[in-house]
Structure 1
Amino acid sequence: MNEEVFNLSIRRFLKRAGIGAQREIEHAVEAALAEGRIAVGEPLAASMTLEVGELELRVVFDGDIVLEE
């Protein structure tokens, strides 16, 4: 296994996933604010699941998204 190729491939995947996830969250927050479904001061509980079927890997990451401090 080529460690450099492997690491670069993981980083490209994570960058694509991170940018796409951020874009989706931003659009959903804008819509929810416009519709009055959320308020600026409320933290948003979030979770993300990473799955790699061939490795039988499933990891859940939890956290909060805040709109204002």
Structure 2
Amino acid sequence: MSDDAFNMSLRKFLKTVGVTSQREIEDAVRAVAEAGDLPAGAVRAKVVLSIDALGLTHEVTGDIDMPGDS
């Protein structure tokens, strides 16, 4: 596989991760908000990326501000 093909494949995967993750988070926030249980302030999020064939585990954490926060 060429470097270009690898990069295109990687970018496609990461785009899918980003788009589907955003959709899932938005759906979860909407459901919690409709139930009246939306937390105030920011919530802590964690994503764990693993690629078993490469022996890779990578964790990313961060805060997401909830709707209505300034």
TM-score after normalising by structure 2: 0.89
How much identity, in percent, do the aligned residues show? 37
1:36 CA displacement: 1.6
Give ranges in structure 2 of 5+ residues lacking alignment. Answer: none
Query: Is 1:58 paired with 2:49?
Result: no
- Aligned partner of 1:32 in structure 2 is 32
1:42 CA displacement: 1.6
TM-score after normalising by structure 1: 0.90
> Which runs of at least 4 in structure 1 moved beyond 2 Å after TM superposition?
none
- Aligned partner of 2:7 in structure 1 is 7
The residue matched to 1:36 in structure 2 has which SS? coil
User: Could you tell me how far apart the structure 2 residues matched to 1:64 and 1:31 are?
Assistant: 19
Q: How many residue pairs are counted as aligned between the two chains? A: 68
